[in-house]
Chain A
């Protein structure tokens, strides 16, 4: 399929979906609307709301806050996950000791941590960063751990026969292998960073896209909720495109740029 055809079809899906939505919320069938506008708003109101947000510029601050929280959560979570994953993989005893706790922490739904973080870190950005961190950390941790563990034995033997000492093995073999696994989970971890930020804002904050949605919901402003959701979706898509670009650059050595979604 050519790029143009694909793009046309993709746009067509959106057009059809919006048309159905518009029809169901504005055109009466046998005297009544299929979807009550109070609960489903309609495309024009939502579009108008989004336009107003950007026209007045009020949305930029929220976008900026959410972006800052997501970025911080991603960077700190990735760094922490990579270092601990590396450490555990190279020290099997440490990994064995911590294994049940890692599993416990990972199994815990992160949403329940949000109130605790709000108590500890306040309603500012850091409680959201903390929530995003707990999500990103584990994705990166497991990938790096796996990456170091699963270095091909042949490549390892080759490196040793070429004369690498332990430090050189780290730099030239373990680290690139771990990084490649980490980058293959880039989409997942970036997505989780955004989820952490938005959920955190939704549960208690004074700014951000999650806050915007939560505020609209509080006054039954359905157009506002939908507008918030659309802006958030667009935000995530832009970030995903950026991630894909970074990925293409970093993983040039890969036969196929895999998108392992853990």
Chain B
């Protein structure tokens, strides 16, 4: 597998069952001396119900690509399609879990979760009831009336997950959501995510810099090249059976082999990234 697989993969998914498609997406930023292409000609398909991770060196534009899928950034060239329709404006089929804190600090945990329903017109009592259910589901049933600053980093991520999932989006976009957490909490959150995901198999696009996490969670792992003008250079299927337990998946046959194979490619990009940023 490798570069050849990219082209083959993008074409192989039937457009109708394709949740998100990035077609030759280029994203440019205006900088002091002209424009800078963060992402150039990136193509990727995520099938409905498929869990895909994007891994790449820091600063390669993974988050930028995710923002394009969310409709938060419009591509300079290429297009994004969602369930067969070309995306213009925000992607309303998607829920987005951000890397940094995105909860409303002036709302309690339950209000943070309920807000997605309230703005959609669900009445307050019903929204709160369902929010309480979701808080229980993510293990925070007794923390409904806490404000975000009274919760730990991991608990805030749980609230964030509930906030996004209560709207039942068909697509879940995640930008290094567990990045700021410690190793144990990450594993626990990973297992929680897989539990919730397996219940109704949404399409997931998960950005991370942690290859082990990517393999443990995903159906497919794609690798981005170092920026600028980064694009997708590798695409691997993860042949590990589900359900998985994050803390044990590393012992599975095939995990190490796959990890070594992907890491060989990723390492070169990581080094390239360091060389360019002068670090």
Closest to A176 in B: B106
Choose one: A155, A165, A180, A253; the contact of B102 (CB below 8 Å): A155
Bound together, the chains give a CA A161 to CA B67 distance in angstroms of 11
Whether B101 contacts A253 by the Cβ 8 Å rule is: no
Bound form: Cα–Cα A11–B104 in Å: 42
The segment from B75-83, B113-121, B263-271 that touches chain A is B113-121
Whether B21 sits at the interface, judged by CB under 8 Å, is no
B102 close to A154 (CB less than 8 A): yes
Q: How many angstroms between the C-alpha atoms of A164 and B101 in the bound complex? A: 18
Shortest distance in angstroms between A202's beta carbon and chain B's nearest beta carbon? 40
Chain B interface size band reads: 20 to 34
Distance of A164 Cα from B120 Cα, bound (Å): 8
Q: Which residues of A does B touch, CB under 8 Å?
A: 152, 154-155, 157-165, 168, 172-173, 176-177, 180, 252-255
| Complex contact A161–B95 (CB within 8 A) | yes
B86 at the interface (CB under 8 A from A): no
Whether A160 pairs with B104 at a CB distance below 8 angstroms is: no
Q: Please report B residues at the A interface, Cβ cutoff 8 Å.
A: 70, 72, 90, 92, 94-96, 98, 100-108, 115-116, 119-120, 147-149, 163-164, 167
Could you show 30 A-B contacts with beta carbons less than 8 Å apart? A154-B100, A154-B101, A155-B102, A155-B104, A157-B72, A158-B96, A158-B98, A159-B104, A160-B72, A161-B70, A161-B94, A161-B95, A161-B96, A162-B116, A162-B167, A163-B119, A163-B167, A164-B119, A165-B119, A172-B104, A172-B115, A172-B119, A177-B106, A253-B106, A253-B147, A253-B148, A253-B149, A254-B105, A254-B149, A255-B149
Which of A152, A155, A161 gathers most chain B CB within 10 Å? A161
A253 to B109, CA, bound (A): 11
